[in-house]
Amino acid sequence: MTKTYTPAEPIWCAGCGDFGVQGALERSLIDLNIAKHDVMILAGIGCSGTLQNNVGTYGYHALHGRVLPAATGVAFANPDLTVIAVGGDGDGFAIGAGHFVHSVKRNPNLVYIVMNNSVYGLTKGQDSPTMDSSAAEGLDSTRLALSIPGASFIARGFSRWSAQLHELTVAALEHTRAGRGFAFLEVLSPCVTYNDTYASWESMLDNLDEDPDYDPTDLSMAFSRGVALDAEGRMPAGVIYRNDGAVGKEAPPSMAGQDLNPAQHLDAYRGIMNSYAV
Ligand X SMILES: Cc1ncc(C[n+]2csc(CCOP(=O)(O)OP(=O)(O)O)c2C)c(N)n1
Q: Which residues bind ligand X (CB under 6 A)?
A: 45-48, 64, 87-91, 115, 117, 119-123, 128
- The entry of ligand SF4, ligand X, Mg ion, none that residue 13 binds, CB within 5 to 8 Å by partner kind: ligand SF4
- Our CB check for ligand SF4 shows the closer of 25 and 183 to be 25
The minimum distance between CB 193 and ligand SF4, in angstroms, equals 4
- Considering only residues 39-98, where is the footprint of Mg ion by CB under 5 A? 88-90
* Number of chain residues interacting with Mg ion (CB under 5 A): 4
Q: Which entry of Mg ion, ligand X, ligand SF4, none binds 16, CB below 5 to 8 A by partner kind?
A: ligand SF4
CB-based contacts of 117, cutoff 8 Å, min separation 6:
17, 48, 88, 89, 128, 188, 189, 190, 191, 194, 195, 197
- Residue 239 interface partner, choices Mg ion, ligand SF4, ligand X, none, CB cut-off 5-8 Å depending on type: none
Indicate the residue among 63 and 227 with the shorter CB distance to Mg ion. 63
Type of residue at 144: L
For residue 183, the surrounding DSSP H or E stretch is strand 183-188
| Residues sharing a CB contact under 8 Å with residue 187, sequence separation 6 or more, in sequence order | 17, 20, 21, 113, 114, 115, 116, 156, 157, 158, 159, 165
Using CB under 5 A as the criterion, what x/- string covers residues 91-130 for binding Mg ion? --------------------------x-------------
Residue 48 or 107 having the CB closest to Mg ion:
48
Residue 235: its H or E element:
strand 235-242
Residues that bind ligand SF4 (CB under 6 A): 12-13, 16, 18, 47, 117, 121, 191-194
Buried b (16+ CB within 10 A) or exposed e, 63-94: ebbbbbbbbbebbbebbebbbbbbbbbbbbbb
CB of 36 to ligand X, least distance (A): 24
- CA proximity to 21, closest of 161, 145, 152: 161
Closest by CA to 174, choosing from 239, 220, 226, 267, is 239
Given Mg ion, ligand SF4, ligand X, none, residue 192, with its beta carbon under 5 to 8 Å by kind, binds ligand SF4
| Residue 69 binding result from ligand X, ligand SF4, Mg ion, none, given CB thresholds of 5 to 8 Å by partner type | none
What are the residues whose beta carbons fall under 8 Å from the beta carbon of 219, sequence distance 6 or more?
146, 241
Name the minimum Å distance from CB 75 to ligand X.
22
For the bound state, the minimum distance from the C-beta of residue 136 to ligand SF4, rounded and expressed in Å, comes to: 21
